[in-house]
Structure 1
Amino acid sequence: MKLAYLHGIPQAKGSIRNNNADFFVEEVMHFDLDGQGEHLWLWIEKDGQNTQYVAKQLAKIFGIAARLVSTSGMKDRHAITRQWFCLPWPIKKDIPVIQVPGAKVLEQRRHGKKLKIGTHKTNRFKIRVRLSDYVEDELETRLQKIKALGVANYFGEQRFGKYGDNVEQACKMFSGEINVRDRKLKGLYLSAARSELFNQILNHRIEHNLFKPINGDAFVLNGSHSYFVESQIQPQTLDRFAQGDILLSGAMFGDGEPIVQGEAADIENNVLSQYPQLTDGLIAENLKQDRRALQLPIEQLSWTFEQQDTDAYLSLNFLLPAGCFATSVLREIVQYEDESKKNANTTEQR
């Protein structure tokens, strides 16, 4: 199912990931490493490799179990990315030579704590889009609107697996057709199921002109995971929404009473009722209700139009909260083809 656009279908057309350098992602940490301790942190730039592959290679080099190599999150394979890897390593023990195909260590530091999933709060993106059909004035106007209002905070296609079938696999798991013993794989299927429900709620609100505060909504504070529910929308709430201080939210479905009330609850229940296999399965797995912003404000968004030989490019720079998807931003700017699906521009095939 195609998902609705917050700003209407873009008129511009183009392609992304024409090579790995066109899609750059970098973690942004909110603290400095203390320079001491038993945990070795490695700041690694990888080109055409996925995070798990690099982690496994580090484990082999250091002679430790792969589970001991930690990261804050997964990064794109078809891109150039920079992220921290962490592993336990005694201070007095020599650090081996690190050589991993498609990856290089830019910095190594000691720290007193292990790197855990979700430690970083922000990702920095530098993306180059090759434009094939566009009107610069129209695209400039659209970009200004997106800079002011943000985009729909859909979960991107990466959330649904390499072949886009994680929701289907989740349904098979819920029905007992398949038995998933691997905890990590099971977590991916559960995550995909919740993400699908969230995307459908967001899609419904845009399609039915409900992307605005309504009675019973739960509002997320911008830049925070905190939220509050307002049974009757007040004028000051509308002002805060217009200023971007608070954001609309949608259900990350799970067991328990709905967080939203009244009209907002009716809207979400109407959507969720269409997916009983997913909702029943998530309840059976004892996942709890939570909220996620329906809106995605884009920090420090800037852009330039460039010409290279006969090709036109749009270069974008922006910051996104961890857990949000650059493709959700790109889809509102340009109708794009992902060239990485045609060309495996990697140093190793797996």
Structure 2
Amino acid sequence: MKQSPYPVEQLLGMQYYVCDTEGVQGLLRQDAEDFMVHEISNEVKTSEEPSDKYLICRLEKKNWELQRAVKEIAKILGVSHRRISWAGTKDKHAITTQLISLYDISETAVQNIRLKDITLTPVGRSGQQLSLGDLQGNRFEITIRACTPDNLEERVAQINTCVGTGVPNYFGIQRFGVQRPVTHLVGKQILLEDYKEAVRTYVGFPSEGEPESNAAARRAYLSDNDPKAALETLPVQMRYERAILHHLAERPDDYEGALKSVPPKLLSMFVSAYQSWLFNMGLSHRIQEGYALSKPAPGDRVIFQTGKTDIVGDKNAGQAEVLIKRGRAHICLEMPGEKTVPTHSTSEQLITSLMEADGISYASFRKAGEMTGMSFKGAVRRISLSTSVESEVCDDTVRLSFSLGPGQYATTICREYMKADPTRMI
């Protein structure tokens, strides 16, 4: 076990590495080609029947955020972006390949699309659209450059072993905002129904990594609370902040309405980020207590391949350990939501105490669901992430190849190798 020395990781709950080996440091995503993501899709039954309303296409993109790419494609086709769906969201600063489905669109229309660094290839038609989570996982080809060269190959081999055994399945920094990790703080204020403070946090909280002119504009808004003045200084690229401010300029003090001017998915992500922060903090607490990621402790929650969960006690501890070793069960933590769930482990008890200290209850998630139009039922998440990694070391460059399941972060794996400042991973 090794503690992270980076304040931002400490604040976001990503407090430990399990591998004591010194990290390779280095730089991730120097070029888009350094981070390649290939979706491992579920089998999609395609046909040539025109009655099948969904056109399935392979989307290849470079340095495109998925939502923006979809909106540009929809704009060219002259349809609503809601007619396009996908199984998983991919990284922006990368080269990615995945399937998308387009409702009632012809192959000819798609073949006429011309967008820089985007290729859209029809692969057939289907009677069903793709849905989030409808994939087996992703295959990653990652290059880490400018690594510290001393004993590099030996260090990589040692970390390969650690990653094969299991590393903390933290939510990565991208869940909280890569440049400005404040989404969980906004989510906290939404849960508290303090919409004014949620707006002030999202619009006004400056980041050390952003241009000083932007940071100054944010600080000015915190100081004078004047949306019209802020609109004059905030750059047009900050479209969500500006949408909030435009609403406030027209309807002063309607902070709830201002928050609702951003897309519902973004609004719900604020609350989800707070849930993610709680998970990270609970997981770090478990590691700090000295419990192994792969060995169940009394009160641990385990999830089976069927999706059912159970609590580890004296009677079933041995059986749970055997199932975990065989990969048929996994230790997990409950991320709280609107449904009250009894806690048994010290990690889940810590999560509950953090909520109580913030003044947040299970009912808070129900009210946040009503406000955002989403549901926050809570979920269980595995505490460890493991994969078999193929590695290659050449001078000061490390190349990694591995596969992960849905909802698992490649940067969580890279973090264990690099042990670098998070800003070098974005």
TM bucket by the smaller chain? 0.7 to 0.9
The Cα of 1:11 is off from its aligned counterpart by 3.1
For residue 278 of structure 2, what is the aligned residue in structure 1? Answer: 197
- Taking the aligned partners of 1:204 and 1:244, their CA distance within structure 2 comes to 24
Is the counterpart of residue 7 in structure 1 residue 19 in structure 2? yes
The Cα of 1:210 is off from its aligned counterpart by 2.8
For residue 293 of structure 1, what is the aligned residue in structure 2? Answer: 382
Q: CA offsets, 1:253-310, max 9 Å, x none?
A: 1133325436565454345444434866325335323211011122x42111124xxx
Distance 1:279 1:139, change over 3 A: farther
Is the counterpart of residue 24 in structure 1 residue 31 in structure 2? no
**Match among 110, 117, 139 for residue 132 of structure 2:** 117
The Cα of 1:335 is off from its aligned counterpart by 2.3
**Match among 294, 302, 311 for residue 390 of structure 2:** 302
- Taking the aligned partners of 2:81 and 2:386, their CA distance within structure 1 comes to 36
Distance 1:119 1:165, change over 3 A: same
The Cα of 1:230 is off from its aligned counterpart by 2.7
Is the counterpart of residue 150 in structure 1 residue 166 in structure 2? yes
Question: Is residue 390–residue 400 contact of structure 2 (8 Å, CA) maintained in 1?
Answer: yes
Question: Is residue 128–residue 315 contact of structure 1 (8 Å, CA) maintained in 2?
Answer: yes
**Match among 38, 45, 49 for residue 64 of structure 2:** 49
5+ long unaligned stretches in structure 1: 342-350
The Cα of 1:43 is off from its aligned counterpart by 0.4
Q: Provide TM-score, normalisation by structure 1.
A: 0.86
For residue 130 of structure 1, what is the aligned residue in structure 2? Answer: 145
- Taking the aligned partners of 2:361 and 2:156, their CA distance within structure 1 comes to 38
The Cα of 1:164 is off from its aligned counterpart by 1.4
Is the counterpart of residue 313 in structure 1 residue 325 in structure 2? no
5+ long unaligned stretches in structure 2: 1-8, 197-254, 370-375
For residue 321 of structure 2, what is the aligned residue in structure 1? Answer: 238
RMSD: 2.5
For residue 229 of structure 1, what is the aligned residue in structure 2? Answer: 311
Distance 1:304 1:8, change over 3 A: same
Greater relative CO, 1 or 2 (CA 8 Å, sep 6+): 1
**Match among 86, 91, 104 for residue 119 of structure 2:** 104
The structure carrying a bigger strand percent of its residues is 1
Letter in structure 2 aligned against 1:291: V
Q: CA offsets, 1:41-73, max 9 Å, x none?
A: 210110111101210111112110122121222
- Taking the aligned partners of 2:107 and 2:322, their CA distance within structure 1 comes to 58
Letter in structure 2 aligned against 1:208: E
Letter in structure 2 aligned against 1:24: M
Q: CA offsets, 1:89-128, max 9 Å, x none?
A: 2569755501112211244321111111221131111101
- Taking the aligned partners of 1:88 and 1:265, their CA distance within structure 2 comes to 43
Question: Is residue 19–residue 340 contact of structure 1 (8 Å, CA) maintained in 2?
Answer: no
- Taking the aligned partners of 2:109 and 2:339, their CA distance within structure 1 comes to 52
Question: Is residue 218–residue 259 contact of structure 1 (8 Å, CA) maintained in 2?
Answer: no
Once the two structures are overlaid, the 10-residue window that deviates more, 235-244 or 153-162, is 235-244
Letter in structure 1 aligned against 2:329: I
- Taking the aligned partners of 1:259 and 1:277, their CA distance within structure 2 comes to 16
Once the two structures are overlaid, the 10-residue window that deviates more, 149-158 or 125-134, is 125-134
Is the counterpart of residue 254 in structure 1 residue 342 in structure 2? no
Question: Is residue 128–residue 314 contact of structure 1 (8 Å, CA) maintained in 2?
Answer: yes
Question: Is residue 40–residue 89 contact of structure 1 (8 Å, CA) maintained in 2?
Answer: yes
Letter in structure 2 aligned against 1:171: K
Once the two structures are overlaid, the 10-residue window that deviates more, 17-26 or 225-234, is 225-234
Deviation beyond 6 Å, 4+ runs, structure 1: none
**Match among 419, 423, 426 for residue 335 of structure 1:** 419
Distance 1:340 1:334, change over 3 A: closer
The structure carrying a bigger helix percent of its residues is 2
